[in-house]
A and B are shown apart, each in its own frame.
Chain A
């Protein structure tokens, strides 16, 4: 038994059926928002990139935007550009040509200004929504599912309750033949030898080790004497003694499966099973990369609480403690605090898997209900 999902022409399976209106460049955000305001059923995908960056950042931003259009939760795409930008709508649409999805582009300079472009965009959006409405859910397999993992606003219990609970769901999905993407390289520092032992082959082990060691070097270069703060006095007060202990608590989200592949920011995995993606730990940058890599659902564990959601991907918020679950009830979906009160990690994992199925079949998460749609593309170079 799998779940009822939206099967796309390229074989991928959506848990949502969104029409995405994507800015190719920051300059088009106002028009994209105007379209989404007039037609609230569409999802606005706005960001700060598209122009004025060096080649590496342009490459990553392009791949990320194409990845978001490819995300199986997206049924159809309208890309809005300005006209003189570096990343043009036509370029994004070319990257989506193999998906079989209806693809449309408009540019503000070409259409004669923002009002005319928005008007045309609204017309297109309505047409795309009609197309999406014709697609129905059908039986799909768990092997069609990719979940992305994220933790943010962690507390001393995140690594004890919420992350091991997410780890149970990760292991379950891997045994079902699905994909699990563990991200946040910063949170892996100190665990490279442990993760390398779990690598599927020597090449994966080598890439993993290099990735985490480079991240540590970069943290030292950029943060200087602050680098050791990756384990902070607050962490220590909470009971964490070493960087290895803190990182093990973070990677517990990924469960205990073999690591099949190491991929770049926003890149799509080519293998099934547990995948590691190189992303920053910062919440919104990381969620954007997971969605661009094809995750249809994100599991987000938190101890302090955050409202963060994502436009085209349901985010399941797991509270590490009951106090947070009750205090921020409007933002939290599940309570891992039950583990601290005697529920086994295994039973808590089953509860998560049950909820995951409901979300896969359409039940809205709190961040979807609250429209906490946050998106940001990671850059490493200056702007020009």
Chain B
């Protein structure tokens, strides 16, 4: 199956949709686990690869890009609605 997500760094807990992903579609491109999308994920948007508890770091490029504003489930769309924008 052709991949539909990209995990940029091995320690990332989110991956990026390389094309539009529909709800309940399986994520391909991450070898180690079976995950289904919990919602539609637009191209370029992020999807959680594991459970991320409230306040825990969302990791992309191997670095924190912010904190989970509430519990985020594996397969869930990660964006401004559940990821806290840290002040610069």
Contact = CB atoms under 8 A, between A and B. Distances in A.
Given A156-B43, A245-B60, A239 B16 contact: yes
Given A239-B45, A242-B66, A342-B29, A160 B18 contact: yes
B2 A160 contact: no
B44 A156 contact: yes
B37 to A, nearest CB: 14
Given A248-B61, A342-B2, A243 B44 contact: no
Contacts of B46: 239, 241
Nearest to B3: A342
A231 to B, nearest CB: 9
Nearest to A238: B44
Interface string B7-35: 01000000011110000000001000000
Contacts of A252: 8, 61
Interface in A236-256: 236, 238-245, 248-249, 252
Nearest to B82: A241
A249 B2 CA distance: 24
Interface residues of B, number: 27
Interface string B62-81: 01111000000000001110
A230 to B, nearest CB: 9
Interface in A115-168: 155-157, 160-161, 164
A155 B63 CA distance: 21
A64 B66 CA distance: 38
Contacts of A340: 6, 18-19
Given A340-B18, A342-B2, A189 B88 contact: yes
26 contacts: A156-B43, A157-B44, A160-B6, A160-B8, A160-B18, A160-B44, A164-B8, A190-B88, A238-B44, A239-B16, A239-B42, A239-B46, A239-B79, A241-B65, A241-B85, A242-B85, A244-B86, A245-B66, A249-B61, A252-B61, A339-B18, A340-B19, A341-B3, A341-B18, A342-B29, A345-B8
Given A191-B63, A244-B66, A340-B18, 7 more contacts: A160-B6, A216-B88, A241-B80, A244-B63, A244-B64, A248-B60, A345-B8
Q: Which are the 5 A-B pairs with shortest beta-carbon distances? A: A156-B44, A239-B45, A239-B44, A245-B65, A340-B18
